[in-house]
Chains A and B, each alone.
Chain A
Amino acid sequence: MTQLVVGPFNRVEGDLEVRLDVQDGAVEAAYANSPLFRGFEKMLAGADPRDALTITPRICGICSISQSVAAALALADAAKVEMPQQAKLAAAVLHGVENLADHITHFYLFFMPDFARPAYEGHDWYDEVVTRFTATRGTSQKAALDARARLFHITGVLGGKWPHTLAIQPAGVTRAPTAAERVRMLSTLKGFRRFLEAHLFGAPLEDFLALESRADLATWRTGDAGLFLRAAQELGLDGLGVGPRRYLSYGAYPMASGRTTRAGLWVDGQMGAFDPTSIVEHVSRSWMTGAAAHPFEGYTDPDEDMSETGYSWCKAPRLDGLTAEVGALARGIVDGHPLALSVAADGGVAARIAGRLLEIARTQIWLEEWVTALDPAQRFMGEFEVPKDGRGAGLVEAARGSLGHWLTIEDGRIANYQIIAPTTWNFSPRDENDAPGPLEAALVGAPVAACDKTPLSVQHIVRSFDPCMVCTVH
């Protein structure tokens, strides 16, 4: 057996190290290490609860609005208030724009450049991939960057800036849009649709959304998506990096009529309800002190000696004692979308990318509907006061999956704050039962060539999860 240490693992958000035990040309065991500890939960202890709205978005520069919405919902839950219906729409627009942009950043900047590596020379798609996706130079990369920057003009209007807006509050949003701003945002969205249809899909979004099965998807040949699908089929990426096949979603985008996508847990073809009280974070293999606990009871106290039993600053969240995979694919599956359910049968690298492509198309259409539904004549802010004592949870869906904030207020100050981020789920270390996290399990069996120090198969699998390491440990 040989051991490989892959790091710095770049083109993921934040710092990641993956240790691999390799036997007979394949990964036998994998260990994911989140090597950065900052301690946001400790920073928040004793703070004015409202300060969570300023501090927690700064956990992450790529999922900043997700953190912001989770904090706002946790405070709202503790104070027993709710945003007015139009504020929910505006918050969903801000959040949807970030999630959409994150998927684009992932596909164009983080994931696709690996297919432009010399190792793939000779494949009939290779030259085209090199032109479009070579890191820092690809023509599609640059087009995506331009389109992404323009899409963020919506956060300029409604949120002041991105990342790190303070516009989303427990009882509403700080900025009531005007009628002129509403039509301007619609025009910005039209521009983004033009990019998606010209570059990513090479066809109307509705055509992609009409795909209902992996067989349908296999016929898609246009746009950058088609180029990926060609490469994926040739390289067998559907069977690579299969996860635990337990898919969790908290349900995305709370609206007056409920969440836009369903919440739940999908296991082996069965949809079940998801019970937030059955979440437990294990710390046995983390550089953390304490015992396994639900986030309302848990705390964060790093083991300064970094004892031998631990190998990551990340805790290991488990649902009913088991791992769960979160992300765009999980959301699509739990929401019952036929294409997502169909690719769930594979559950590997290609399925995760398909789940994201599907969600890009759906999110663009949701955003168009939401901005259209904004009514500048309505109220965008209600009343909110910090309760003297209370507790609340804020559960949202970030681009990378389920994000939760659990807050306890005592005597008007934060007594405890716990966060479980999407990549805490996906890239968790082993738990008390020595069960590996979803990524660690997905890496087992990945092929490794004899002289390979940074196996491409491992890179595809890791990046297919779109990890956000700064959120993971926070």
Chain B
Amino acid sequence: MLQFILKRLGLAILVAFTVSFISFSLLFLSGDPAAALAGETASGEDVEALRRLYGFDRPMLVQYGDWLFSALQGDFGESYYFRLPVASLIADRLSVTMILGVCGITFALLTAVPLGVVAAIRPNSIIDRIALFISVAGQAMPSFWFGLILIVVFAIQLGWLPPSGTATWRHFILPTIVLGYYAMPAIMRLTRAGMLDVLSSDYIRTARAKGANETRVMFRHALRNAIIPVVSLAAVQMGFMLGGSIVVESIFALHGAGYLAWESIARNDLPTVQALILIFSMFYIVFTFLADVLNAWLDPRMRTS
């Protein structure tokens, strides 16, 4: 197990470096950072002066090395746009995104897994149909649309919940539903498929034959095996939520890290974008790594492969 973990860890670190380097270099293709910094009124000389001041005239590899060295010490530089340290800026925004991501994935798992199990126990029943409908709708509906519909119903018509902001926990209910609903269909379909597959397998028949009660068969034998791919998927979804909740954050005016990333790209705020990409890819990598370890724990066969 330890060897497995170490191997995965090494791979994860390698991926992190690669991602950070690729994203670092891609940013240089997206327009001249010096021109963006200088703003509308700058003359050509102003832009050149800024280019030298910020070191954009140095070779890219040198710039990358410099940046990585400071980043490893927790110093991501100063945001060009806000003129505040990137680290504190991101820490501020990340908490919102984390709360949203954890709530979103919890909501998705708590609704999708039971629905998937029930749908698998009674395939083609009315419950299965309803579950299918929910998942198709969730997959087909863009989240900005769904978000605004929820605002219209719950904030404007019924007046139960606030439309946007982060002031109280009630502000997080609607965005959680929107973000979770987006991840739900895949988790549910995968649970259902996994359960159907497992339920028709020999060892379930054996378990039933030896007289285990149905609850024990379902949760102890079937779900534990069926859930393995779901764990991987949920981990990936979680990484996706932390980095990709841009639309939800924008609609509900949440000012999280996803929205910050999106805006920073438009503002050519390189230090912020670079730090965020690194952090997002780290999330992704950490969650995938955790999923691997969790899977290995759930299924001993995986440890050897």
Bound together? no
